[in-house]
A and B are shown apart, each in its own frame.
Chain A
Amino acid sequence: MMTQDVWEVIWLSLQVTTVSVAIGMLVGIPTGTLLGLYSFRGKRLIVALIYTCMGLPPVLVGVVVYLLLSRYGPLGALGLLFTPEAMIIAQVILVTPILAGLTMSAVQAKERTYWETAKSLGASPMQMMITIVREARGGIWSGVAAAYGRAISEVGAVMLVGGNIEHHTRVMTTAIILETRTGNFTAGLQLGLVLLAISFLFNSFLMAGVLNQMRSRRR
């Protein structure tokens, strides 16, 4: 079962997911922090939009990205359709709202306690933001875990824009679909277990980190 093909599929899954979540973090965490700290006109609308996008149907994202990247679409000249890059684009659209939304909640929960203190100590806005993010990291990490879980188990969008091409864009979830379609239920199930195991490992590391932080804070 653990042939080279299977490792290749697992490796690509990890690459695509990790890059997507990393890009999502770069965009989502600052956005969430700003939204958690400041209020301004139209904020409620933005927050409502972010919450809506946290539940975006992956297939819908897939179709939109597909149409954008298609040879006959506006970005067709880039030739990105059916590449890992296309899969990353779709995944980033899916995970960024989750990261922004959960960061915002985490920051809001800490805001009152630390904002005034930091301000009274004469911190600059940038310093204040960094302090708050550091204090809210437990909540932010669980956002990262949620985003990672969503990205690695996602199938609708990556199937559409990646195309499930062997040795090129085949990831664990699309491989499971293919195995099931061709009647190899056992192989599909085995891959599914690998997927679960990876999620479990990832989340264990995260939880270990979060728990450590909590303990150190209590001290």
Chain B
Amino acid sequence: MKTIQSITALFCIALVLLLAACSSTPPAAAPQQALAEQSNPSAATPAPTPTPPTGEKKEIILATTTSTQDSGLLDALLPEFEQQSGITVKVIAVGTGQAIKLGEEGNADVLLVHSRKAEDEFVSKGFGINAYDVMYNQFYIVGPAEDPAGIKGVQSAKEAMVKIAEKQSPFVSRGDDSGTDKKEKSIWAEADITPSGNWYISSGQGMGETLQMADEKRAYTLTDEATFLSRKLNLEVLVQGDKSLLNPYGIIQVKSSAKPEEGMQLIRFFTEEQGQKLIGEFGKETYGKGLFVPDAKQR
């Protein structure tokens, strides 16, 4: 009996709270909304903005690498584009390998990726058109401050990797066929080393997870600058500035896309003045330096 009473009481209280919430919110919220619309018609409300030329909602799919998403770059650029064009961009953030596969199978409209060799192949096989350079950033070799392999200050990435392999210091590899993974493999190849053994840890995951694993295991890893700076980890940049550590991004239209016009609009946004400016500025506030260097040009 007692329990029934207390349950009923609880129920009543919940009901009263709910009613109170319902009756008080609308009047408070409505004027705010109206005000916002009046004072700031161009604000970043994705709501049905004045004039998207055709009535229906337009969408395109952008297949991209985890680094552009994880670093927050897309969050800085896409709302601006969506508002100007009325086109909704659906982002699929995966490794470069899968992004290119998505393009080949016609499951994406535009690719924003970073593996020049795979990109050129994609275009030369006839899957892609209108390929542009967009921007670049750097790769770093990062690791624990103790630096067991003593690679700090080494001039070339190749030399650093040789030292890591000699010492058999733990090294976490993406191992997911992504642009970063391909870059890492190319450096190993350059150094004529086939990394294997317990010290070489292949995570098969994204950059963020791989960095976290390196942090946990006090291991080295190769990372793109953007993802590294956007994470707060106890890892230090040990090698940077080598030419082989540059990381250029390209944007390519998928030839079989059913929405070539919209796709091209997105490509133009990324490669023309406004997008390039946004790219250059991205991250300055938070990290004191831009994460990406804009350098758009048609290939």
Contacts and interface: CB of A to CB of B under 8 A. Distances in A.
A167 B196 CA distance: 11
Interface stretch (A14-22, A139-147, A175-183, A200-208): A175-183
Given A81-B216, A183-B100, A165 B202 contact: yes
Interface string A163-176: 11111101000110
B175 A181 contact: no
Given A71-B216, A82-B216, A163 B98 contact: no
* Size band of the interface chain A makes with B: 20 to 34
A6 to B, nearest CB: 14
Given A71-B215, A182-B176, A164 B98 contact: no
Given A181-B94, A181-B98, A164 B205 contact: yes
Nearest to B218: A71
A131 interface: no
A182 B95 contact: yes
Nearest to B200: A166
B72 interface: no
Contact of B97 (A71, A82, A167, A182): A182
A70 interface: yes
Given A70-B216, A82-B216, A182-B177, A165 B94 contact: no
B211 interface: no
B209 interface: yes
Interface residues of B, number: 21
A170 to B, nearest CB: 7
B284 interface: no
A80 to B, nearest CB: 11
Nearest to A81: B216
Given A70-B216, A180-B98, A168 B201 contact: yes
Interface in B124-156: none
B90 interface: no
B101 A183 contact: yes
B204 interface: yes
B203 A164 contact: yes
A165 B97 contact: no
A178 B100 contact: no
A45 B217 CA distance: 41
B213 interface: yes
Nearest to A166: B202
Given A165-B202, A182-B177, A183-B102, 13 more contacts: A71-B215, A81-B216, A82-B217, A165-B204, A166-B202, A166-B204, A168-B201, A178-B205, A181-B97, A182-B97, A183-B97, A183-B98, A183-B100
Interface of B: 94-95, 97-98, 100-102, 175-178, 201-205, 209, 213, 215-217
15 contacts: A70-B216, A71-B215, A81-B216, A82-B216, A159-B205, A165-B203, A165-B213, A166-B202, A166-B203, A167-B202, A181-B176, A182-B97, A182-B176, A182-B178, A183-B97
Sorted nearest first, the 8 A-B pairs with minimum C-beta distance are: A183-B101, A166-B202, A182-B177, A178-B204, A182-B97, A183-B98, A164-B204, A183-B97
